Amino acid sequence: MGSLDRLVSVEDFRQLARRRLPKSIFEFVDGGAGQELTLAANRADFERIRLIPRVLTDVSRPDLSTSLFSQSLPTPLVISPMGSCSLVWPQADIAIARAAAARGIPYTLSTMATTGIERMARAVDGPLWFQLYVLRDLDFVRQLTQRARENGYSTLVVTVDLQAGGKREKDLRNGISIPLRPSPRHVLEGMLRPGWSLRLLRGGLPQFENVRGYLGDTSAGLTIAARVGANLHAGFGWDDFRRIRDWWQGPLVVKGVLHAGDAAALMAAGADGIWVSNHGGRQLDSAISSIDALPAIRHALGAQVPILIDSGIRTGMDVIKAGALGAGAAAIGRAALFGAAAGEAGVARVLDILLEDIANGLKLAGAPVFRQIGPDLIA
């Protein structure tokens, strides 16, 4: 691993990604919607939380395990679904999933992944979840769920905060699309990042493997968000949700929930868990941060309902704060993708940094068992 040992935080890997990726690609990964108000709040609201540590507790063996859907997991981490990962590193989806599998961390494959359902299942021996975007063609949506079930994906994650594609102004200015339509600007950026360019040429231009042929005309040069948004089922409602619930026999989590009333109604309609998320600040700008939404949702659902959270998680302390406020697991997206700028070894290093931070944070907080932390840890 060598030089990667000198990187000691997710922010270090973010800066590595900034140096290694063309500006347009880095801004696609790093950026958010609109004025990026929600993107900024996701970090600021984690950073303002303070903890009250306890003393004279035995912290010699910190326990990071958690439980979701009656299953024990060795860590409180999950990998969030991400599309277009291969823009960062060839087959980055597989690199991230393999690094996660080696640590018992579930990997959530996006509908808009650049690796297909079947290929991921063949490549990775670890817990796999499938994230579903509800597209207008519900027959096609059902086929996606069947493919996931037949290939061993244990949990379905239905995303409900993508009624339309968020307005990502940086992507509009930069012209980032799939398939890539290189402009003179992109060629220049690629020349300034020759390592990235060579890897992209060897790996081939990324495609949305799971929806190949579904998204219509690929020559339009739409941004990624706009292309996906044009095919979403904007009328997705409760009857449609119940239909998906009937299709899927395993655990079903609903992702993109920020309102406590919605969370309670989804559980009543058959969900097995709630994933608190604002899509990493990439959808509704000015939406509440996930960490600020979490306490009300936990209060509405009670202590037993599984809750996950994403959006803005960059440190082990963020995971501990989320756990104290009611999340059974925290999901990371950008953090893993920043690591992927150095391939699978980079992702592995990012995951180890986070796990080491969580273990050390539990020790210093005098709270050695992750499953037992609660709001009394919060100032």
Compute how many other C-beta atoms are within 10 angstroms of the C-beta atom of residue 308: 26
First to last CA, the chain: 39
276, containing H or E segment: strand 273-276
Q: Are the CB atoms for 285 and 32 separated by under 8 Å?
A: yes
Distances (CA, A) of 227 to 33, 177, 216, 218, 330: 15, 8, 9, 9, 29
Packing angle of the helix pair 316-324, 343-364 (nearest 10 deg): 50
233 flagged as catalytic: no
How many helices (H) and strands (E) the chain has is answered by 16, 10
For 287, phi then psi, to 5°, come to: -65, 155
Q: Under 8 Å CB-to-CB from 233, ≥6 apart: which residues?
A: 134, 135, 136, 138, 141, 240
For 256, phi then psi, to 5°, come to: 105, 25
C-alpha torsion 312→318→8→334, nearest 10: -20
Going through 35-115 in order, the beta strands assigned E by DSSP cover 66-68, 71-73, 77-79, 107-109
* Cis peptide upstream of residue 182 (ω within 30 degrees of 0): no
Compute how many other C-beta atoms are within 10 angstroms of the C-beta atom of residue 341: 23
Among the options 233, 259, 279, 299, which is catalytic? Answer: 279
Q: Are the CB atoms for 232 and 214 separated by under 8 Å?
A: no
Rounded CA-CA distance 33/22 in Å is 20
- The residues that are catalytic are 279
